[in-house]
Structure 1
């Protein structure tokens, strides 16, 4: 393991909360597809299955930022455990209701409850930010490593959910997702030494973290970025079926994630000297440009190569985004700020999936790769239009940032270093 990765795990408790975070964020990639697989197998109704999955995603987009806002105020342990219990109870209720053939309104009620899922990934990133707040290089490596973990979850999660539901019993996928969430949250909540300090209510002036101008830009761009991911998933399945090898779609998408994992691992070893905002906009543009080769593919091998190259733009851009959030958002609202970017991503995935499904049916799978291309172009456009908001005022002057904490403790603040954080 390269030295930066060894260094980030020298801090006591870092290995443990990172492992707990892996289990806790697995349901993010398992719950939706697990519900679709379960419902479609038990009832054969793909329309209801897709609608239930979409309900979970939209409910999560509504609940997750509010849960994270409470975490910033009251601490992780006090908030994520009750939220987890609501989510797990709702998933188990949905499983029982589907198995019993309950009325559809009850199914959707449980699906809304299942969206009360704490953003465990944001909790872990907040711990990394707190742990390495005085060491920019280690924080950079931490966020890169976390992006790799995210990608790994999205490779392993759907395979587990679909595989278990189709080989054991239909309810196995969602049940395992609920189990992972319970284990991850209980394990993470038990680790008090690395938990970021809670901030009292009086420090939460100005309302939601989303009012931060720079964060609004990141969330908007991430909505289009999520549309890229959602569209590529759907179109790739359609393309593989059109080529007569539908089963190869999962392998092809795994290659897409593999490109991201490898690039993220390398990115964490590097020592970038340019400001995060500049690296971020270059990453968004690279992601948009990587959609062009997809318009030219004619078979699965060429598609796999194009997706591998496109995947290499993902993890580095995600890691830089988290560095920007840590730079822009006051520390009293850091967890909420990180969750808002994930929310934008989730909403974009849902919209991209819907648009891509329509495009595949209307124009065919090959031409439907135009959907992620358009999403990428819009992401780059919004990034350029909002770039000044990311650089117009330096984060160290904002109350509650890393530099502000150092000033309180009498430590010198290097503004140039802060601008290059991560």
Structure 2
């Protein structure tokens, strides 16, 4: 970017780390009490890894039930499933960040709300480095807020971030829609569209997300498509790619969990992502401790260093994923005068359609499936301009997804990583 003085601290840190060949790893972490949150950030900062900090908000705050957040913080703080940001107040949060965050350890607040304006005002007042979400990705899966209302409020909220003396970094969650069973072309398209929405409202320090799915080669193809499409549609932005370790049903065994985490690190390194949001073996059972988060970060760092020196051996698939994602982006943009109006119209007409998403503004006529190649594809396209699994091979018709097959697909990675034999891994010989 030419406006170096307006580059946000989070973007600059990730860029420096990438230039030095270091993958930034980041936990999902949020605790109710101020002292515990401080201890968590300090532990992540001191981990033997290149880390960014995370403050994940609690569900009361996400749903704007601030009175319940304050009451629970006062009476039963350990019952909170995240950090009650507004209940603590901006002075306390600014002090927390002053003690823990720095240019070499920026902190991101993760919130999960479809209507972020009040939270974003607080983040700006408290001096937070970065946040995330998006008008689609934090509306359709997590709320019943009308999409048009979410788009309007997100536009105002993004402009607020862009107007700060040092603009806040914003990560689109569009590449993580539903966490699983959404074919990658739509994830790539939504990530780019939300990035374009952020830029439309004046913000140029952004990151584009993608969630690991079920096939390493397809995920490599998706990451390449995301980078190519972003280069075409988001020129002039200070951007990077963030990968998420698989967000669906996690393996039940520690060895299976670490196998899955290892595969996501290798995917990030070989797929060109600059940042990885990790999970821990505790994910299948409960919220992880500080120590478990640190262990996962340090393990990921070790895998990343080894992966950088050794070819992975997995090649990207060649399924036309970039072309399909580009077609979805164009199909949406031709429907409106702005990116925001285009998103609203595209979902209203089913030109964008999230499988298995029950929000009233989503057509829900599409279905994703794990096909005979063990890749995610469309078994039903609805009104979207995409190919179904049987389009290239009528001899293998795409089976309609029923409750039994859906349950089996949701546990695909759990079964795969808990059962598979592993060779040539950092975990070889572990038991």
TM-score (norm 2): 0.28
Structure with more strand by fraction: 2
TM-score (norm 1): 0.29
Structure with more helix by fraction: 1
Question: Higher relative contact order at CA 8 Å, sep ≥6: structure 1 or structure 2?
Answer: 1
